[in-house]
Amino acid sequence: MDWKVGKARGGLKGELTVPPDKSISHRAVMFGAISGGKCRARNFLFGEDCVRTLEAFRAMGIEITREDDAITVHGKGLKGLTPPEGALYLGNSGTTMRIISGVLAGQDFTTVLTGDESLSRRPMRRIMEPLSMMGARIEPVEGADHAPLRITGTKAPLKPISYAMPMASAQVKSCVLAAGLYAAGRTSVTEPFQSRDHTERILEYFSADIRRKGLTTEISGPGELVPGDLEIPADISSAAFFIAGALIVKGSRLIIRNVGLNPTRIGVINVLKRMGGSIRILDLREGIEPAGDLEVRYSQLKATVVEEEEVPLLIDEIPIIAVASAMAEGTTVIKGVRELKVKETDRVRSIRENLSRMGIDAVEENGSLIIPGSSGRIRAAGLDSFGDHRIAMSMAIAALVSDGDCLIRDTACVATSYPGFLGDLEKVSI
């Protein structure tokens, strides 16, 4: 499936609600399933990735019912999962594969995890090493650093560890914390930089014995989780495309409703505001996950430097930040982009190649992505998603400020997180 997207002449205007938060939706299923009762999660994201998580736990004996936009997960406790009949196919969802591995390490059966071609190329050594230190048996079926993975559980408790992560990754941190629920004692994880904290928040809400101090999180096991109901806000990673679009398309004034504003997720807002973007929070609502409405207006952006320690807090938003940078005055430098090479695609290469076709000569030097601003001059071109949903949506926003029509190829991947994206873009484009 291809998209044809052309120049937006009157701005992005009106109101919009983007899909529910993907990260929180995943965790609602996973931790709800191993809790000791019912967890109702309202405004659940029924995108392909989250459905893979949902179906994986159904395959392990968890009842999950749906009513409109809500699901109810009937948890069976830490050890309540049952062996699936076959391998668990997780599609393109790296979040599912990495976090579920921590849960499966504490079960007393063997599971094989598989994924699509893209997921099967993504590095899994980063979870294999800490789980092995905890006494779990986790190994690649085909002898490489990738899926399929075979996880052989144990009836005995896992070993608690103190693990210093070599990279800041919410997925790896969450995997170790999930396994820590099954360990006999206190497990700690220390990050080099802060990453997303959705796992810590939901575990605290579910009454886990978890403590945070600086970049270290500790969890004590074994212990039961006490479930509670969740209200999932709109995904800031999905909102980011429209935030950037409204900032770079002249004449824009856009309201985006009920966006999740977790402090570990608003790095994209901080960077775009630093570039001169007019982004205003209209109604901040505190809770397990804070949320609010955003007002975004067209702004003349200026270049900035994104430091390496900022990257884990906006890792999924770098493609759209790159598009905004291409429209800014001056040259933007995004440091520490190596992790982007092992996402759904090599996002550094994908960004550079697409921007090059549009006349922007972005380069990679010493682990940094350097993007010269065009001051508003981008040419139309044929663009590729490279099978990556965030690249596809970022290029659609870039097309809005090009000098003609752009054809964006292979956009079916957008269904993993935002199947209605093109319709929403047409709704607010004037």
pLDDT in tens, 201-216: 999 999 999 999 999 9
Do residues 347 and 284 both lie within one domain? yes
Are 308 and 372 found together in one domain?
yes
**H helices present in 118-266, as ranges:** 125-133, 170-180, 198-205, 236-248
User: Which position among 316, 384, 410, 424 bears the catalytic label?
Assistant: 316
pTM over 0.75: yes
316 assigned to active site:
yes
241 with 429: CB under 8 angstroms? no
Residue 317's domain comprises 3-20+234-428
* Boundary residue ending a domain (178, 197, 231): 231
Mean residue pLDDT of the chain comes to 95
Do both 10 and 28 map to the same domain?
Answer: no
Give residue 377's pLDDT band: very low, low, confident or very high (50, 70, 90).
Answer: confident
Residue 154 is predicted with a pLDDT of: 84
Structure tokens at 72: 């109810």
Sign of dihedral through CA atoms 299, 272, 324, 331? positive
CA distance 333 to 158: 43
Same domain flag for 224 and 275: no
15 plus 27 within the same structural domain: no
Structure-token match 């824009």, residue found: 252
**What is the number of H-type helices and E-type strands within the chain?**
12, 23
Phi-psi region of 302 (alpha: psi -120 to 50; beta: other; left: phi over 0): beta
> Residues 146, 30: one domain?
yes
Residue 145 pLDDT: 84
Domain boundary among 231, 256, 283: 231
Residue 229 pLDDT level (bands cut at 50, 70, 90)? very high
pLDDT at 30: 98
Report, as an integer, the average pLDDT of 309-316: 92
Summarised one tens digit per residue, pLDDT across range 37-95 is: 999 999 999 999 999 999 999 999 999 999 999 999 999 999 999 999 999 999 999 99
Asked whether the predicted pLDDT for residue 296 surpasses 90, the reply is: yes
pLDDT of residue 118: 87
* Residues in contact with 233: Cβ distance below 8 Å, sequence separation at least 6, in sequence order: 20, 21, 24, 43, 258, 259, 260, 261, 289, 291
Share of the chain above pLDDT 70, in %: 99
Contact, 90 vs 120, CB < 8 A?
A: no
**Residue 77 corresponds to which tokens in the numbers above?**
């406790």
Predicted pLDDT of residue 342: 67
**Residue for token pair 């010493």:** 366
* CATH number (domain holding residue 279): 3.65.10.10
**Per-residue pLDDT tens over the stretch 143-176:** 778 899 999 988 889 999 999 999 999 999 999 9
pLDDT of 430 higher than 80: no
Q: Which of 180, 212, 231 is the endpoint of a domain?
A: 231
Are 105 and 214 contained in the same domain? yes
For the chain, what is the domain count? Answer: 2
